[in-house]
Amino acid sequence: MKPIALFAATVAVALLSACASRPESIHASYVSHEKYTHLSCAELATRKTDTRAELDKYSRMQDSKANTDAVGVFFLALPFSKLSGDHEGDVARLKGEVEAIDTAQVKNRCKSV
């Protein structure tokens, strides 16, 4: 009976690790702040607001994928995001963009950092 329990546990771990990541667990990709240092403080603030809005949108979409995967794995042992894709790369890129803009604001000595 132990080999069956071990196999079931291994399959469960493999399926759960195949699920879409939650947005808060996705690390930012590196984006150089140099591409933003030529912008004024007002332009940086606008860019940051726009990028955060886009990050929020993709984070909600990624969270939805993770929820769908949880249901799919529970009922069918199938993480649907592995078939249709997820938005992990977009979330990582946008988090990196926000960090780069923050760094550019510090480098440019903007007041509203």
Residue 62 in this model has a pLDDT that exceeds 70: yes
CA 107 to chain centre: 26
For the entire predicted model, the pTM comes to: 0.73
The string of pLDDT tens digits covering residues 20-52 is 788 899 999 999 999 999 999 999 999 999 999
